[in-house]
Chain A
Amino acid sequence: MSTLALRFAGPLQSWGVASRFAWRTTTSTPTKSAVVGLLAAALGWERDADLSDLAALRFGVRADQPGVRVRDFQTAHHGDTGVSMPLSYRFYLADAVFLAAVEGDDQLIEALHAAIKRPHFLPYLGRRSCPPSQPVNIGVRTLGLNEVLRQEPWLASEWYQRRERRTRVALDMQIEVAPGTRGSDLQRDQPVTFNPRHRRYDLRAYHNETIEITNPHGKQVRENPPRQAVTAHPAHDPTIGLEAV
């Protein structure tokens, strides 16, 4: 059992789960269907290929730098006729960094690692207009998914790490679990087929977890001294000893 670790960093990313029609929303972390699709593309598989191998991988993701949600208002016209297409709102995560990992048997993971180093179709971050700004490939680890997500160093940008200041930071993770596990959440991003004529997704169960990780640029934050009571004005009553009239 080994795990392939991937870095998703880019100016814009967009991870749609249930968007239809004109509002194309994004979840706050990469989806399994997007990552499986990215790996299948790296292998050079066609859209209608059998996905069962890749869909069986166990998937987890860590939000190293959550990013900011931005909205794009998009107009488009038909290339030939000039007829205006429906106006749409597209949502992106700006300036986000994620650590994603897939766990599977050694041979498949090695094959995926080789493919991601020399991808047949280039990877993109959820939408084709969102190229990665750093290499997606981090490498293969001979560890389980949970250990990899716990042990990989923090991938956030240096400016983000400096801004965080504390030496330990808490990161949110989503780790795939067996369907029906107590306390799990569901998301419809388990790919069945990417065939453009009948794309299908199943529900996937995952756990939300938080881990503490070392911040290499953290500083020991000095405890603020207890606040001194503000010295009030000296009380002053000039009427003491005067005779009321």
Chain B
Amino acid sequence: MYLTRFRFNTARTGARRLLTSPQILHAAVMQSFANVPALPDGNSPRVLWRLDRNANNQVLLYIVSPDRPDLTHIVEQAGWPTTGSWDSFAYAPFLDKLTAGDIWTFRLTANPVHSIRTRDGEPTKRTAHITVRHQLGWLLKQQERAGFTICEQPKELPRPTDMDEYQVVVHDRRSLDFTKKDPARSSKINNVQILTVTYDGRLRIDDPDKVRAVLTTGLGKAKAYGCGLMTLAPAQ
């Protein structure tokens, strides 16, 4: 497994083209593998990616993938072709080190949805969680299956609202609206609307195997569009 980081040169037209359409960025990410990645089956590791918009001039692309990617084409379009490149890191040794009880800070960009029906008997429909409260609730619901627990706020710290019970912030909530070609009918163009949020916080690992699976196969929906990739960093 590899973790790869690339920084966009946001002043370039090519960067804007990639950053404005998750569909185009997804295609660019998938084209960085010489061997076409296998279709995801939900159990084996897959290609995951995420955009971290830390500042206007610091937009980072993270990719977690079974094979080592070659981002030359993205660097040529949207990077610094002669002075900037991308960094790949070996991910497997890090994954092997994970043990139960460890505390890590995490970042996850996800597409929090649930399936509801508005009238009895109607087929259910996938619907985004709109409010921060529900978006946080979605993450808390995922954590048991994913093998980790979000750390609770220490008792001595103030909790002005019940949202402050956990050491996690929900930010960068954005709704994406872009078009994609219908694979069945190439003349038809479909509209895609998804809602993404970014979670930052601290977690404790309960089941390292489940966490490894989450880190390599993703969490939640819309994984092709930059959602579902969780990364861990050492907790201070």
On A, residues with C-beta under 8 Å from B are: 233-245
Contacts and interface: CB of A to CB of B under 8 A. Distances in A.
B91 interface: yes
6 contacts: A233-B200, A236-B52, A236-B231, A239-B3, A239-B5, A240-B233
Nearest to B202: A234
Contacts of B2: 245
B233 A238 contact: yes
Interface residues of B, number: 25
A239 B4 CA distance: 9
Contact of B91 (A236, A237, A240, A242): A242
Contact of B233 (A233, A237, A245): A237
B26 interface: no
A178 to B, nearest CB: 61
Contacts of B171: 233
B49 interface: no
A233 B87 contact: no
Nearest to A243: B90
Interface string B50-81: 00101000000010000010000000000000
Contacts of B177: none
A243 B231 CA distance: 15
B88 A241 contact: no
Given A233-B200, A245-B2, A245-B68, A239 B87 contact: yes
A244 B89 contact: yes
Given A238-B3, A238-B231, A241-B94, A233 B172 contact: yes
A240 B232 CA distance: 9
B93 interface: yes
Nearest to B172: A233
A245 B89 contact: yes
Nearest to B91: A242
Nearest to B93: A243
B169 interface: yes
A244 B91 CA distance: 9
B90 A242 contact: yes
Nearest to A231: B169
Given A234-B105, A236-B107, A236-B200, A242 B89 contact: yes
Contact of B88 (A236, A238, A240, A245): A245
Contacts of A237: 233
A241 B91 contact: no
A241 B96 CA distance: 13
B234 interface: yes
Given A233-B54, A243-B89, 20 more contacts: A233-B171, A233-B172, A235-B54, A237-B233, A238-B3, A238-B62, A238-B107, A238-B231, A239-B3, A239-B89, A242-B89, A242-B91, A242-B93, A244-B87, A244-B88, A244-B90, A245-B2, A245-B68, A245-B88, A245-B89
Contact of A240 (B68, B93, B234): B234
A111 B167 CA distance: 82
Contacts of B172: 233
Closest 6 CB pairs of A and B: A238-B231, A242-B89, A236-B107, A234-B200, A243-B90, A245-B90
A141 to B, nearest CB: 59
Contacts of A239: 3, 5, 87, 89
